[in-house]
Structure 1
Amino acid sequence: MALNIEDRQVKFWSHQRANGFLSNFFMAEIRVDGLIWPSTEHYYQAMRFEGLPMAEAIRRCPDAKAAKELAWSVPAPESWTLERRIRVMQKAVMAKFTQHEELRIALLATGTAEIIEASKNDGLWGWGPDKDGINLLGILLMQLRAQLSGDCVQTSQVELSNPSFIEDYLRNQAEGKSGIKVPKKTMQLWNKYAVKANKSMRLSHSLMDALNEELDGDVHFKNESKIRALLGELNQSLNDADKVMEQK
């Protein structure tokens, strides 16, 4: 399986390009929760709607792109928190690289190189447009690599099963306590993103509750001022979150 390492970095994005086997769009079946999923992307997106018919519809999509598009066509439920997303992604990549021997060997072949999802659009799972994003997927893959190789030094000796390891990992990196350097600015961006994202989620649910109350009640929208205020605050919060991830 083709592996390209440059300047001690393994960059990936498209499943059809260099190091594509690291991408969630790479079509490698995984068995999780008693079901076969065509790719890790199928599983990750379906878990937004765990226990609902939508999850099965996503599982049956012909490819990863279709699975993502179907999932994003419907608002995610309140239960789809950042912690939940990280836990699901951990489970997905663990299944992928332990159920396919050739993929496990390829991951271990990256050695101690930094793994980066070189997405120009995603500053959370990847490094974003200015190459200073969080790169959560890269961190998860490096953590799993250490687990599979038995080397916990480079990942600060944190457990894969603990979803809080992302924050611990970045904090240790910023303090120079582990092998792969992550700038302090990355830790600062992570903290800002988490705060803004959590606020946006809370406002979104408050808005939905207010709207539902109106739909079930009077036709004249007696809480119109409340709805308008929540909409304004939600819009500002989302804009603030976008600005944080766009910082150079």
Structure 2
Amino acid sequence: MDTIRFYRPSEDYGEFSNFSPHRIHLDGKSWPTSEHYFQAQKFHDPAYRERIRTARSPMDAANLGRDRKQKLRPDWESVKVEVMRNAVRAKFSQHAELTALLLATGDAKLVEHTANDAYWGDGGDGRGRNMLGQVLMQVREALRAAAASE
């Protein structure tokens, strides 16, 4: 099986990064990137969520989301994968070119290749959990099934 590694939005398959500049519409709001949405969902405070939603860049949104002076929602660890799945599903179903790109990967293994993250990514050495890659492959399967039933 082929493996597709991605990380930076400016590189091959950079569209798979949550930092890619693809606006999503979710929970009645427009979000500049899936990163903005994901980071905002960590908190119950509506004002802080809005601050993240309107952050200038996905990196700014990520930094706000990592601020541990802010109180995380108590169920975050149990819901974070589903939040990511919702963001990724929205992104890849709301942009036809992204749907086509994801489906065109066939059965390739999708890997967020970075030493910076061993949970969402592969940890740089392949030993990470690659949860973002797993979510992308789940969304790909759902999109493939939806396309087949049309």
Give the number of the structure whose alpha-carbon radius of gyration is greater.
1
The aligned counterpart of 1:66 is 60
* Unaligned runs of at least 5 residues, structure 2: none
Give the aligned partner of residue 140 of structure 2. Answer: 145
Whole-angstrom distance in 1 between the partners of 2:12 and 2:118: 20
* 1:61-100 aligned within 5 A: 61-73=55-67, 74-100=69-95
Q: 1:108: which partner in 2?
A: 103
Cα 1:78–1:49 shift into 2, 3 Å: closer
Aligned length: 145
For residues 209-243 of structure 1, give each alpha carbon's deviation from its aligned partner in whole angstroms, at most 9, with x where no partner exists.
xxxxxxxxxxxxxxxxxxxxxxxxxxxxxxxxxxx
- Distance in 1 between the 2:115 and 2:45 partners? 33
SS of 2:21's equivalent in the other structure is coil
1:135-177 Cα offsets, whole Å, 9 max, x none, are 00000000110111119xxxxxxxxxxxxxxxxxxxxxxxxxx
Give, in whole Å, the separation in 2 of the partners of 1:71 and 1:42: 9
Is 1:55 the equivalent of 2:63?
no
* TM-align CA RMSD: 1.5
- Runs ≥4 residues deviating over 3 A: none
CA distance 1:76–1:141, change in 2 (3 Å): farther
Structure 1 gaps, min length 5: 1-6, 152-248
TM-score (norm. length: structure 1): 0.56
Distance 2:140 2:124 in 1: 26
Q: Tell whether the 8 Å contact from 2:43 to 2:73 is kept in structure 1 after alignment.
A: no
* Pair 76,126 (structure 1): closer, same or farther in 2 beyond 3 Å: farther
